[in-house]
Amino acid sequence: MWINFDQLLDLPNVTVVNYQKIAQTIFLKLALLNETIECPNCHETLGRINQTEYNLVRDLSILGNRVYLKVPRRQFHCQKCQKYISERLSFMRLRQPQTIRYESIIYERVKNWALLNQGMNGNCASYPKVSLSLVFKNTTKEDSYLKSATPKSELEHLDCSKAITV
């Protein structure tokens, strides 16, 4: 059976170059299609890669299997402003172990869990507040850079009384 992982992933400027399936987990090695980036400081076009490191990142499941992406994180050096620039990717934040869309799914599940518990119990005084920072570890300064990120600030500490009004 032929599976086009590029279409299944539906991530911008990315192609799957290799995959491996171990038990119920699929590992996809990605390559980035864009060859240049723009320096955020001086707006110079950068095409020479200083270094590339691969990060293992959790993504949405495919065909009932957990998916981990081996994402190349490229660093460029700007000759004009003499700074090292890490490439920003629209589908993930720097130093985060999951994609934004996977994070959004977890966020929705936590929100629905709180609503379900409110409906069953009728009162949520006995339930502790669910801290979304426990789910997402730390938010980073890239939140402002990535416009498509889930608005976590609305429900940073989700308790039933707040969740019922959402």
pLDDT band at 80 (very low <50, low <70, confident <90, very high): very high
At which residue do the structure tokens 């723009």 appear? 38
Residues 79, 106, single domain; the answer is: no
Please indicate, yes or no, whether residues 15 and 67 belong to a single structural domain of this protein.
Answer: yes
What is the tally of structural domains in the chain? Answer: 2
pLDDT over 80 at 111, yes or no: yes
Residues 12 and 75 reside in one and the same domain = yes
Percentage, residues of the chain above pLDDT 70: 70
Same domain, 26 and 67: yes
Q: Is the pLDDT of residue 17 over 70?
A: yes
Residue 96 lies in a domain: no
Secondary structure class of 103 (helix, strand, coil): helix
Q: What is the pLDDT of residues 55-69, one digit of tens each?
A: 999 999 988 999 999
Q: Between the CA atoms of 160, 163, 165 and 166, what dihedral angle is there, to the nearest 10 degrees? A: 180
Question: What's the count of helices (H) and strands (E) in the chain, helices before strands?
Answer: 5, 9
Q: In this structure, are 78 and 118 located in the same domain?
A: no
Q: 69 and 32, same structural domain?
A: yes
The first and second tokens of residue 15, run together, are 């192609």
Domain with 48, as residue range(s), is: 5-91
User: Of the candidates 91, 121, 143, which is a domain's last residue?
Assistant: 91
- Residue located via tokens 């660093």: 75
- Same structural domain, 77 and 133: no
Question: Are 49 and 74 a contacting pair, CB within 8 Å?
Answer: yes
Residue 147: phi and psi, rounded to 5, are -70, -25
